[in-house]
A and B are shown apart, each in its own frame.
Chain A
Amino acid sequence: MARVAREMVERSGINVDELVELLVKNASAELTTYYYYTILRVNLIGLKGEGLKEIAEAARIEDRNHFEALVPRIYELGGALPASMNDFHDISACPPAPLPEDPTNIEAMLKVFVNAERCAVRGYTQICNMTAGKDHRTYDLALAILNEEIEHESWFSEFLGEGPSGHFLRRGENSPFVSKFLK
């Protein structure tokens, strides 16, 4: 634990235990989403499926990066990940993102992706709201993740015909916002 770092957050008025619990739940959402997206991605086949594979893969890798970036902050603040992977799965801040019954139904696949991204956008907005102007490091991290989650939501929502978002596929490295936390 980073004792003074935690003390600074406590002194800002934030309930650090609640914040840490939220960070753990969101770390779970990232790692479980990484897992579920792996299954979704391998099933993105055929003419329509292949067209989605690249964004699905970028979102999958970036979600794993989010997990990696959240873990040090959890421990700095005196938290810990649950010892049991089962428990970790079940406390996720977002519901599972299961493979649709018919994986060739591309619209059903896209809805699973977009719902998962929307849940994440709400979750990090909440963490940003709680930490803004108080816990600068958690805010910086949550904002970086939020930036990437919003791009993921945009990619999938465009395919659902919800209108343009102005975004394009990743060019070059993954995690343009979060990479500074991974070095």
Chain B
Amino acid sequence: MIKLTIEALSQYNGDHNTPLYIAYKGKIYDVSSSFLWKGGKHQVLHKAGQDLTEELEHAPHGADLLKRVPCIGQLVE
């Protein structure tokens, strides 16, 4: 399990040849192998490298879909 601050997480957005990570409710998920997160963007509106807790509130699905991608760490202060 890795630990990342929000600043460190922002590196994992697809711009630097790194894996693609997103955060939700303090947990970090690796979306690198998801077809739906190609290039670090999801459904035009959402970007990897960010805490998307708030954004998921307005999505047409719930947090259950996060089970489809590996949880790899924790967001820290």
Contacts and interface: CB of A to CB of B under 8 A. Distances in A.
The answer on A and B forming one complex is yes
Interface of A: 18, 21-22, 25, 90-96, 121-123, 125-126, 129
Nearest to B45: A18
Interface of B: 35-36, 38, 43-45, 59-61
Contacts of B35: 92, 95-96
A18 B44 CA distance: 6
Contacts of B38: 90-91
B44 A125 contact: no
A129 B44 CA distance: 15
Given A18-B45, A22-B44, A25-B43, A95 B60 contact: no
A20 B61 CA distance: 21
Contacts of B44: 18, 21-22, 25
Contacts of B45: 18
Given A95-B36, A96-B35, A129 B43 contact: no
Contacts of B59: 126
